Amino acid sequence: DAKTTQPNSMESNEEEPVHLPCNHSTISGTDYIHWYRQLPSQGPEYVIHGLTSNVNNRMASLAIAEDRKSSTLILHRATLRDAAVYYCILRDSSNSGYALNFGKGTSLLVTP
Amino acid sequence: GAGVSQSPRYKVTKRGQDVALRCDPISGHVSLYWYRQALGQGPEFLTYFNYEAQQDKSGLPNDRFSAERPEGSISTLTIQRTEQRDSAMYRCASSLATGGFGEQFFGPGTRLTVL
């Protein structure tokens, strides 16, 4: 399975943008890039996903490199509630890519 | 609407006892997943159901672990002859899509402690 690499931790100031990187150099053409996050003491929650084009939703934006070997999750204005572990996950659409392979993720600290 | 619910939220048991963990998915969700999460780690996949059919159990660590979803709704994860290494957070998730590719919604988890 294709793997992802993320920094262990990042820190941001409140109300500033945050760019969370993810490397996936062995990504295949049928892999979607998914992001989930896990707030303290809660279960993971879906954030966003994409295949080739950049994606926006109410929570975040996903910027995907042209060669698809990396992507960046963008939180436009970090709040204290965005402090969480963020997981970048590849899901293969060519078969039943149902199992989410979470890895260790990036722990985001947001300071006031 | 109601999200995924799990019970009990906390379970303390003695080594060698059997435990049953319950998951009640979001109404209408056909796919159901079980994960296990150790402290400081991301969740690890255990098993997946599409309706009542267990499509994949490759993540179950050994034959002491089993799961069922007899009517395609509520699921039970059973651990027989528990061991201390089974202590973890057990999380259930469900998704609307068949084939298991949709957004997964997670429950609050069951914290299992084996003494």
Residues B61/B74, Cβ–Cβ less than 8 Å:
no
pLDDT digits (tens, 9 = 90+) for A1-48: 669 999 999 999 999 999 999 999 999 988 999 999 999 999 999 999
Residue B97's pLDDT is what? 80
pLDDT digits (tens, 9 = 90+) for B64-100: 999 999 999 999 999 999 999 999 999 999 999 876 6
Q: What is the mean pLDDT of chain A?
A: 93
Q: Is B53 on the interface with A (CB under 8 A)?
A: no
Contacts of A105 in chain B (CB under 8 A): 42
B77 contact partners, CB below 8 Å, separation of at least 6: B20, B21, B23, B34, B46, B47, B65, B66, B67, B90, B92
Reduced 3-state DSSP string for B29-88: CCEEEEEEECCCCCCEEEEEEECCEEEECCCCCCCCEEEECCCCCCEEEEECCCCHHHCE
Residue B100's pLDDT is what? 60
The reply to whether residue A93 touches residue B101, judged by beta carbons under 8 angstroms, is: yes
The reply to whether residue A102 touches residue B33, judged by beta carbons under 8 angstroms, is: no
Of A43, A97, A104, the CB nearest to B106: A43
How is residue B27 annotated by DSSP?
T
Residue A99's pLDDT is what? 86
B contact residues 15-44, partner A, Cβ 8 Å cutoff:
31, 33, 35, 41-44
Q: Quick one: closest CA in B to A49, which residue?
A: B103
- Nearest C-alpha neighbor of B54 from the set B31, B74, B35, B37: B31
- In order of A23, A109, B16, B59, B80, the CA distances from B63 in angstroms are 36, 40, 14, 11, 9
Amino acid residing at B90: Y
For residue B4, is pLDDT > 70?
Answer: yes
Q: Could you give the CA distance from residue A18 to residue A4 in angstroms, rounded to a whole number?
A: 19
For residue A60, is pLDDT > 70?
Answer: yes
For residue B1, is pLDDT > 70?
Answer: no
For residue A94, is pLDDT > 90?
Answer: no
Residues A52/A65, Cβ–Cβ less than 8 Å:
no
> Looking at CA atoms only, how far is residue A71 from chain B in angstroms?
19
Residue B113's pLDDT is what? 98
Interface test mutation site (partner A, options B34, B60, B101, B111, max chain A beta carbons within 10 A):
B101
For residue B57, is pLDDT > 70?
Answer: yes
Q: Could you give the CA distance from residue B66 to residue B88 in angstroms, rounded to a whole number?
A: 16
A contact residues 78-97, partner B, Cβ 8 Å cutoff:
85, 87, 91, 93, 96-97
Contacts of B36 in chain A (CB under 8 A): none
- Nearest C-alpha neighbor of A13 from the set A79, A93, A69, A58: A79
